[in-house]
Each structure stands twice: as C-alpha cells, then as structure tokens.
C-alpha cells in the first residue's frame, strides 16, 4: 500500500471514529513532520483568504450570472494538510472512562431532543436558560436536589446559569463534567465524535473527567476554551473570542482552517441532510469559511470552487461529494 493510500485509509477511519491509539500517534507524527516547515501567520492566512475569496466569487459569477449569493460573509481559503489533531495538546492522566450516571435513580426526568436543523431554548427548574443546538439531547430532573443542580447532555448547548453558591450546577457528558456556580458557557460533546469542547463567556468553569470528579482538567476564565480528545484523554486550553461562542445561535457557521471531514459533520447537523464523501483524497483538505443565514447549496458551491475543488450532487435527500 502506498504512503498516500495509507493516509487516506486512516483519514476514513478517523471520520468513522475507529482510530486506535497507535494510529492516532501516527497522525500526530505527520503533524510533527509538517511543523518543521512552519505554519503561515495570521497575516499570510488573511491575505491568502482574501485572494481566494476574490477568485472564488469571480468563478461563481461566471458559472451563475443570474444567481446571487445572499449575505455571504466569507473569507475562504484552503490548504492541503494531513493533520487531524489540534496544536500543542498535552497529556491528561490516562484513566478509563465511566459513563455518566448522574441522574440514575431520579424518578421524574425531563428530556428535550432536537433533530437535525432544529434549535430549542429551555428554562430549567432554577430559572437558568439553555439553548440546545441541532441533533442534541438534554436530560434534567423536574426539580433539582438540595446539594447540586445536575443535567446530562449529548450534543451542544449554551448555558446561562442562575448564581447559587450553595448549589453548584453540573453538566455531565459521557466523557466530561462541567461544574459552575453562576456563569454562561457552551459545551459541545456529541457521542461518536472524538473531541469535546467547553467555552466560557462569563464567570468561571471547572472541567472534570466524568467518573473521577476529584481530578481537575481545567479551570476556565471568560474567553478561554478547553479542547478534549476523548480517545487519548488529551486536553488543552486555548483563547477564544467571546463573541464567537454564540455564533451558532445566530445561524453563523465559522470554520478556521478546518478539515472538510469535520465541516461535513457540522453541515449534516445544521441542515439535517446526510453528506457522503466519496473522494477520500479531499477529506483532509482544510478551509477557512464564515457565513451567516446561508443555504447549504451555496456553502458547498463556495467550498467546491476553492482548494483542490470537488463536485457534488443532491440525490434522494442526501448530498454526495465526489
């Protein structure tokens, strides 16, 4: 098997969440090789993105003279890459995961579910508000207990928590527990994906591994984000623009140097349309894209005219990228 074919195969396994620890270490070694050449700085990325945007829009204008892309806020650039892990991850102690059973034994459980393309806002028993993103599930008791306020999440949600120093608020996912007293923050932890993300807009947030609450992974301040690799138990804290934390609530999609494989997952959830990528060679192609209130067809049109380029078609309620 050629080196390129081997990498394509690993990319497909990563897309399906099937990589072994050894295979993830191989992916990390690819990154180490790439790092020797250095990454472009922000000024270089912005310049390349602007040039790519102009070129892309000219191509689209030629192809569709009568079609106007509405309210596209786009900076799009692409670069071939073979890395799938975030920069400078550090090792968090490797312990077996324990599935969250925070609500086990609680008699009156409320459950709210969103489907693909659906968002929902909820008010919890203590008056705290939750905005649930697409394809997500939240479970919580009808009345919180006397010691803490605990809910379970599979997916993504933004929380605005009423302060109560005597009763901490706990968000339990399969791999992480987030503990707060009163703050606003975002948790993204979809089952079947290898990464979980916690972002803080106000207050302080403590991040713990599920099943081992005594071990603190991070203590986050406003404007900080914690990225956690579930399979490797790796995590790191990075800065994040506070204003971008609620982007998804305003139908803004922002991808910064993100592989096509991850973009497709996000588009599937946002629009509720299955996406099949038949060409494994472009799974790791990276894009920079920022759009608001845009159709999935226009987003794919922009992506298809940048980087290596690709073709796509809609067929029987799904999208096929070739």
Quick one: average pLDDT of 297-310?
A: 88
Looking at the fold, whether 71 and 119 belong to one and the same domain comes out as no
Whether residue 95 lies inside any domain: the answer is no
% of the chain with per-residue pLDDT over 70: 66
Whether residue 236 lies inside any domain: the answer is no
**Domain total for the chain?**
2
From 102-106, 165-169, 199-203, 300-304, the region with the lowest mean pLDDT: 102-106
Q: How confident is the model at residue 281 (pLDDT cuts 50, 70, 90)?
A: confident
| Domain edge (last residue) among 177, 197, 231 | 231
pLDDT digit string (tens) for 208-230?
A: 998 765 688 999 999 999 999 99
Looking at the fold, whether 227 and 256 belong to one and the same domain comes out as no
The range of the structural domain enclosing residue 287 comes to: 11-85+247-321
Whether residue 271 lies inside any domain: the answer is yes
pLDDT digit string (tens) for 240-263?
A: 999 999 999 999 999 988 899 999
Partners of residue 138 on adjacent β-strands: 112, 153
Looking at the fold, whether 151 and 225 belong to one and the same domain comes out as yes
Collect contacts of 266-271 with beta carbons under 8 A, ≥24 apart.
267/296, 267/299, 267/300, 268/116, 269/116, 269/117, 269/133, 269/134, 269/135, 269/190, 270/116, 270/117, 270/134, 270/296, 271/116, 271/117, 271/296
Whether residue 92 lies inside any domain: the answer is no
CA distance 242 to 133: 18
Whether 204 contacts 180, CB under 8 Å: yes
Looking at the fold, whether 127 and 207 belong to one and the same domain comes out as yes
Q: Between 156 and 35, name the one with better pLDDT.
A: 156
Looking at the fold, whether 251 and 311 belong to one and the same domain comes out as yes
% of the chain with per-residue pLDDT over 90: 50
Does residue 299 have a pLDDT over 80?
yes
Q: Residue 25: which CATH number?
A: 3.55.50.30
Whether residue 99 lies inside any domain: the answer is no
| Domain edge (last residue) among 231, 255, 289 | 231
Quick one: average pLDDT of 167-177?
A: 93
Burial of 3 (0-12, 13-18, 19+ CB in 10 A): exposed
Average pLDDT over the chain, rounded to whole? 78
Whether residue 237 lies inside any domain: the answer is no
Whether residue 292 lies inside any domain: the answer is yes
Does residue 304 have a pLDDT over 50?
yes
Looking at the fold, whether 65 and 155 belong to one and the same domain comes out as no
Looking at the fold, whether 122 and 200 belong to one and the same domain comes out as yes
Does residue 151 have a pLDDT over 90?
yes
pLDDT digit string (tens) for 57-102?
A: 555 555 554 444 444 333 334 333 333 333 333 333 333 333 344 5
Whether residue 159 lies inside any domain: the answer is yes
pLDDT score of 120: 96
| Domain edge (last residue) among 182, 201, 231 | 231
Q: Residue 212: which CATH number?
A: 2.60.120.1440
Looking at the fold, whether 185 and 134 belong to one and the same domain comes out as yes
pLDDT score of 23: 66
Does residue 173 have a pLDDT over 50?
yes
CA distance 312 to 322: 6
């Amino acid at each position: 098997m050629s080196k390129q074919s081997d990498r394509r195969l690993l990319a497909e396994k990563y897309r399906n969440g099937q990589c072994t620890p050894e295979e993830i270490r191989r992916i990390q070694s690819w990154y180490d090789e790439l790092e020797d050449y250095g990454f472009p700085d922000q000024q270089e990325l912005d310049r390349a993105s602007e040039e790519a945007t102009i070129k892309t829009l000219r191509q689209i204008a030629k192809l569709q003279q009568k079609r106007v892309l509405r309210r596209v806020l786009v900076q799009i650039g692409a670069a071939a890459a073979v890395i799938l892990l975030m920069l400078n991850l550090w090792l968090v102690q490797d312990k077996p995961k324990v599935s969250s059973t925070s609500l086990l034994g609680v008699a009156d459980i409320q459950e709210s579910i969103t489907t693909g393309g659906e968002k929902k806002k909820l008010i919890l028993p203590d008056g705290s508000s939750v905005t649930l993103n697409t394809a997500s599930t939240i479970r919580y008791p009808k009345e919180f207990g006397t010691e803490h306020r605990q809910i379970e999440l599979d997916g993504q949600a933004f929380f605005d928590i009423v302060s109560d120093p005597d009763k901490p608020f706990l968000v339990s996912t399969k791999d992480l527990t987030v503990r707060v007293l009163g703050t606003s923050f975002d948790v993204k932890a979809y089952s079947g994906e290898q990464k979980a993300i916690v972002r803080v807009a106000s207050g302080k947030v403590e991040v713990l591994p599920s099943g081992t609450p005594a071990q603190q992974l991070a203590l986050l301040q406003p404007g900080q984000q914690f990225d956690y690799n579930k399979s490797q138990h790796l995590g790191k804290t990075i800065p994040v623009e506070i204003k971008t934390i609620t982007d998804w609530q305003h139908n803004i999609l922002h991808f910064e140097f993100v592989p096509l494989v991850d973009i497709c997952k996000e588009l599937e959830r946002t629009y509720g349309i299955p996406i099949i990528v038949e060409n494994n060679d472009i799974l790791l192609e990276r894009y920079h894209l920022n759009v608001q209130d845009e159709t999935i067809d226009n987003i794919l049109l922009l992506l298809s005219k940048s980087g290596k380029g690709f073709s796509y078609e809609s067929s029987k309620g799904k999208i096929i990228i070739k």
